[in-house]
Amino acid sequence: MLLKLIPDDTAIPFMKMRMYVFILSLVASILALGLFAVKGMNYGIDFEGGTLIEIQTNDGPADLSAIRARLGELNLGEVQVQEFGQPDNVLIRIVRQEGGEAEQQVAVEQMKAAFGDEVTYRRVEVVGPRVSGELAFAGTMAVGASLVLILIYIWLRFEWQYGVGAIIATLHDVIMTIGLFALLQIEFNLTSIAAVLTIVGYSLNDTVVVYDRIREMRRKYKKMPLPQLIDLAINQTLTRTVMTSVTTLIALIALFVFGGEVIRSFTTAMIFGVLIGTYSSIFIAAPVLIFFGMQGGGNATKEEAVQA
């Protein structure tokens, strides 16, 4: 192999660090939930309802303050104006209007009349309160159902300790990702839900690879203590784990840089999710088996120690 990020003979004592890692992860998770409770999420039109309009100015870079002033004269309520990618691209969010979808359309027509031919309209999205509520419920149910199915799948394939460990690691990843959205106030929309579900699947795939090797090691080294066995399993799968993460990150970073603002929230969440998913597979999903009383055996025999 021409490119080898991790040597084949690594012997990193991951289990000796497990208490420090658990404390760090617990504190980080509490902080993430605290950010969610205090700052809240920057919900997009998909969940809040309202009107999303993307425009492009025809005479050079957009003057955001002038656009805000002109929209303020229309008395449409709260209006958010921000640069969207290029200097001449502007994203406008208009709060949901009282009176239903008809009033939303009226607001759009008022805005178009105010700007006339000065701008080009690239997209207009109108979401009513009923639709946004249904989307929020469906997104929450999708994440919840995925976690339940993960527990059932891992439980049937391995043992109950593996299932609980996978759920704890996956919940950790979801909580940390939500904390990222709350901290950076990245817009949370339907693509963000897709990112969270993708992160769940990616993290689970990494976790299953590690769990499969642990199960194999338990059959092969029946007298090896569980902490030593888990260290052996993680070190043997470390090259695969790191290479998979690095190649995925290369693709995601390219999307982040060249994909534009439309998928920026998705790629940001995915980059963070790949990093945190790799971390949880190694430092949370595997060592949590020890805390749930999984038996690994007694002292390793001389032959087993040599083979390891």
| Domains of the chain from N-terminus onward | 14-43+132-307 (1.20.1640.10), 50-127 (3.30.70.3400)
Pairing of strands 119-127, 187-188: unpaired
User: What's the token pair of residue 113?
Assistant: 């009349």
- Alpha-carbon distance of 216 to 74, in angstroms, equals 68
pLDDT tens string for the chain (308 positions)? Answer: 455 666 667 778 888 888 899 999 999 999 999 999 998 888 777 777 778 888 888 888 888 888 888 888 888 777 778 877 788 888 888 877 776 677 778 888 888 888 888 888 888 877 765 555 676 677 778 777 877 887 788 778 777 888 888 888 988 999 999 999 999 988 887 788 888 888 888 888 888 888 888 888 888 887 788 888 888 888 888 888 888 889 999 999 998 888 777 678 889 999 999 999 999 988 998 888 888 766 554 444 434 444 44
User: What's the token pair of residue 12?
Assistant: 């990193």
Which one-letter DSSP state was computed for residue 73? Answer: T
Q: Single out the residue of 25, 14, 32 nearest to residue 178, CA to CA.
A: 32
Helix 190-220, helix 264-280: angle, nearest 10: 20
What are phi and psi for residue 116, nearest 5 degrees? 60, -130
